[in-house]
Amino acid sequence: MSTAEPPAVAPGATVAELGEEALIALITPMLPHAPGELVGSGDDCAVLALPDGCAALSTDVLVEGRHFRAHWSTGHDVGRRAAAQNLADAAAMGALPTALVVGLVMPPTTTVDWVRDFAAGLAAGCRECGAGVVGGDLSAGESLMVAVTVVGDLQGRAPVLRSGARPGDAVVHVGTLGRSAAGWALLEAGLAPRAETIARAAACLDAFRAPRPPLHAGPALAAAGASSMMDVSDSLLRDAGRIARASSVVLDLGEPEAVLGADVELLEEVAAVLPGTRPRELARWWVLTGGEDHGLLATVPQASLGSLPDGARVIGRVREASAQGPGVLVGGRSAGADLGWDHFG
């Protein structure tokens, strides 16, 4: 990205009318800098100094019509969400997310206002944990698509992998579960305008449109000695199954209603807005199979339970794998670990 003077923009102007260089000049000053940013936007690469010489690195794409719908979410929402889901990946390694680079593909008819709103959302998402946007690429295309790569600083700690869960560890979750799925269901049913007036429903719509993962809990759980960790992006069951398989253990979770308490009540109340459903069953379904809340799922040794970060809830226990192999139990019963989201299904 270059660093020319921010240009004047006519109201409702499209990105084709403004042109690429002017658009970059408009966005760049809106975005926060990264800690350790030796070279920022405007050259071939950004350059980051990482004090311990280790970089955690992950990439994610968001596609209009698949991960979001332009008439359901503002540019600000899409920016926040793109930031959040990537920052959560770095936090899930126990790293402090430090920098993002962002590719944005959009139809030439996209308004400059939308892009400005997107950049503001991206910046707001980064400010949650002090990360910066250090580079990007813009291109025209048929539909909106956002590709974000995150760099995290492990701060001298070993990365927390999915493969370290040990029998006897507690299973811990920080953040929300099921809210994003509930928000999606309200939008899909066309109930969002009515639901926005209900505080609990609004919280679910927000969770879907612009999730706020507990980013600081990632480094805190790592410092507390977490043995495995990931962010819940596809679903609690599917992602718990990934830890179980990677660690060759069983994750024995309690009943959602029991372990999540007030949050399940919130979901039941929102489920009751949807006609013709059984609220209790639907709320349970959202918690177990809903993705994209991007909370953190971790296993921690019992000795670490006294030093968990705020908001951490114990939701189960790690057990030895039985003859059936690794897997997930919910309330003592075996759960299909592949319930969740397949991007080509």
Question: Which residues participate in the annotated binding site for Mg(2+)?
Answer: 44, 58-60, 89, 137, 231, 234
CA atoms within 13 A on the CB side of 326: 21
| C-beta of 42 vs 225, nearer to a second copy | 42
Kindly indicate which of the ranges 35-43, 269-277, 307-315, 321-329 contains the residues binding a second copy, using the contact rule CB under 8 A.
35-43
The total number of residues shown for the chain amounts to 345
State which amino acid sits at residue 81.
Answer: R
Residues 235-254 touching a second copy, rule: CB under 8 A, are 242, 246
The residue from 57, 188, 196, 322 that contacts a second copy (CB under 8 A) is 57
| C-beta of 39 vs 303, nearer to a second copy | 39
List the binding residues for substrate.
Answer: 67, 292, 341
**Interaction between residue 111 and a second copy (CB under 8 A):** no
176 neighbors 261 (Cβ within 8 angstroms): no
169 neighbors 227 (Cβ within 8 angstroms): yes
| C-beta of 34 vs 264, nearer to a second copy | 34
311: Cβ contacts below 8 Å, ≥ 6 apart: 174, 175, 214, 217
| C-beta of 231 vs 263, nearer to a second copy | 231
The residue from 29, 51, 325, 336 that contacts a second copy (CB under 8 A) is 51
The residue from 6, 47, 307, 336 that contacts a second copy (CB under 8 A) is 47
Cα separation of 87 and 231, whole Å? 10
- Burial letters for 99-130: b for 16+ Cβ neighbours within 10 Å, e otherwise? bbbbbbbbeeebbbebbbbbbbbbbbbbebbe
CA distances from 239 to 34, 189, 258, 339 (A): 30, 27, 20, 9
| C-beta of 22 vs 266, nearer to a second copy | 22
The residue from 9, 63, 202, 272 that contacts a second copy (CB under 8 A) is 63
Q: Tell the smallest beta-carbon distance from residue 106 to a second copy (Å).
A: 9
Q: Tell the smallest beta-carbon distance from residue 319 to a second copy (Å).
A: 22
Name the residue among 30, 105, 97, 115 with its Cα closest to residue 58: 97
Residues 123-162 touching a second copy, rule: CB under 8 A, are 134-143, 145, 147, 149-152, 154, 159, 161-162
Residues 70-109 touching a second copy, rule: CB under 8 A, are 88-90, 92-93, 95, 99, 101-105, 108
148 neighbors 89 (Cβ within 8 angstroms): no
**Interaction between residue 48 and a second copy (CB under 8 A):** yes
Name the residue among 11, 18, 13, 27 with its Cα closest to residue 111: 13
Kindly indicate which of the ranges 20-28, 197-205, 306-314, 326-334 contains the residues binding a second copy, using the contact rule CB under 8 A.
20-28
Backbone Cα Rg of the chain: 21
Estimate to the nearest angstrom the gap between the alpha carbon of 23 and the chain centroid: 27
